[in-house]
Structure 1
Amino acid sequence: MSFHLPSFIAIVLSYLVGSLSFAVIVSRAMGMADPRSYGSGNPGATNVLRSGNKGAALATLVLDALKGWLPVFVIRVFGPDHDMGMGTAALAGLAAFLGHLYPVFFGFKGGKGVATAAGVLVGIDWMLGLATGMSWAIIAFFFRYSSLASLVAAFFAPSFYLIGGGIAWPLNRTVLVTLIAISLLLIWRHRENIRRLAAGTESRLGAKKKKE
């Protein structure tokens, strides 16, 4: 994929959009405690849910997903209508995801990126997002661990893309590499959750916040 200044600008802007930590922004707007101060300390929708405010958690989830979806969608619709455009869109999605993980506006201390990654997947192809989201929902429903569901979804996302390649969507090498990178980063960001899952101390979905 050849690289051009407009593509670079789009990727940088995507990172800046991703750097908007909506868990913190929504909590401040609603007069709630900073989500980094309780529970897991992660500025994400799952931890906001531990505050007991489902509306704030839902708003965080939707906004975090939107900031992953929006750059991909905009580039796909308004960018060049060929393979290079899809590759640039995927890289913009990766940039938004990295912005969530390492937000420039919040001291480079961000969340784990599950909702933002989901938005990127939907932006690439809604069927890919649906398949991965269903994997998350099934594991979350039966085991009640958001982290475990996220790890399973991260593992399957690149696999679903490969399986559907040539059938539901054309394969693109840049997209595949992007999906693998996002999956590996998700697993890395959940390393503490993996330790707690192994130890049997991981918090389940719906658990109230704990003062630490």
Structure 2
Amino acid sequence: MPVALKTIFSLLGSYLVGSIPFGLIVVWVARRQDVRRIGSGRTGGTNVMRAAGWLAGVITAVLDVLKGVAAGWIARALVPENPWVLVASAVLVVMGHNYSAFLVERREQGGIRFKGGAGGATAFGGAIAIWPPIWMYILPIGALVYFLVGYASVTTISVAVVTTVVFAVRALKGESTWVYVLYGVAVLGVVLYALRPNLERLRKGTERAVGLRAYLQKRQQQQGGPPVNSGNQNATP
């Protein structure tokens, strides 16, 4: 099979794998509800957790990470030793997650839109596909951001930022190609675009809190302090 055709299969296959709406499936199995009609309407782990509980959210997040890993497996199987195809496939699996080919809806004002998640978990999986040890950087930093900074949207952004920084440092040290840095930059752009509503709520101070921030807000309310705006219920990803 010609390399060009293998490349097309890798890119298209990665997008379609990313398009699998695991969050939609998990919530439907667990609660017989459409997660697109709950909370933020996204199909990622955070909104699934809100719709069907923490276990459903964790299962969805793990499956979304595995989509990113699968894109790397597809790329390496079809076009081995080609970092450009690997990076493009890893980006497209995130695009598929955020703009699923299986979740196309008509807009009330006309036209169509593709629904999905914000891309954090799948971007994490794509980074692992490119360089597996990167999980040792992304996971602890992401956990700290989630619990200490207290916003799921910022946690999602941190995945792409840490990915970019790690790949840039490795490239500077001559340990990997600069092509991998493009993956971090690309998914950062994709994630920021998906999180535009969240960024606006962060600017206004109305983003929904999680982790330690949510705990402190709850305690303050219980102790009779002034009401704390815990943010819009339509959070991330």
TM over 0.5: yes
Q: Give the drift of 1:42.
A: 1.6
Contact 1:122–1:130 (Cα < 8 Å) also in 2: no
Contact 1:22–1:60 (Cα < 8 Å) also in 2: yes
Are 1:185 and 2:200 counterparts? Answer: no
1:115 corresponds in structure 2 to 121
**How high is the TM-score relative to the length of structure 2?**
0.78
SS in 2 for 1:152: helix
2:140 corresponds in structure 1 to 134
Q: Give the drift of 1:169.
A: 3.6
Q: Distance in 2 between matches of 1:154 and 1:80?
A: 25
SS in 1 for 2:102: helix
Q: Give the drift of 1:49.
A: 1.0
Q: Distance in 2 between matches of 1:132 and 1:168?
A: 21
2:84 corresponds in structure 1 to 87
Highest CA radius of gyration, 1 or 2?
2
RMSD: 2.5
Give aligned pairs, total: 206
Q: Give the drift of 1:52.
A: 5.0
Unaligned ranges ≥5, structure 2: 105-113, 215-231
Contact 2:13–2:74 (Cα < 8 Å) also in 1: no
Q: Give the drift of 1:141.
A: 1.5
Are 1:145 and 2:151 counterparts? Answer: yes
Q: Which amino acid aligns with 1:5?
A: L
SS in 2 for 1:4: helix
1:26 corresponds in structure 2 to 26
Contact 1:39–1:50 (Cα < 8 Å) also in 2: yes
Which of these residues, 199, 203, 210, is aligned with residue 205 of structure 1? 210
Deviation per CA, 1:98-129, whole angstroms, max 9, x where unpaired? Answer: 11111111102111111110100111112223
SS in 1 for 2:51: coil
Q: Distance in 1 between matches of 2:80 and 2:102?
A: 33
Which of these residues, 194, 200, 212, is aligned with residue 199 of structure 2? 194
Contact 2:19–2:102 (Cα < 8 Å) also in 1: yes
Contact 2:147–2:210 (Cα < 8 Å) also in 1: no
Q: Distance in 2 between matches of 1:49 and 1:179?
A: 26
Unaligned ranges ≥5, structure 1: none
2:217 corresponds in structure 1 to none
**How high is the TM-score relative to the length of structure 1?**
0.87
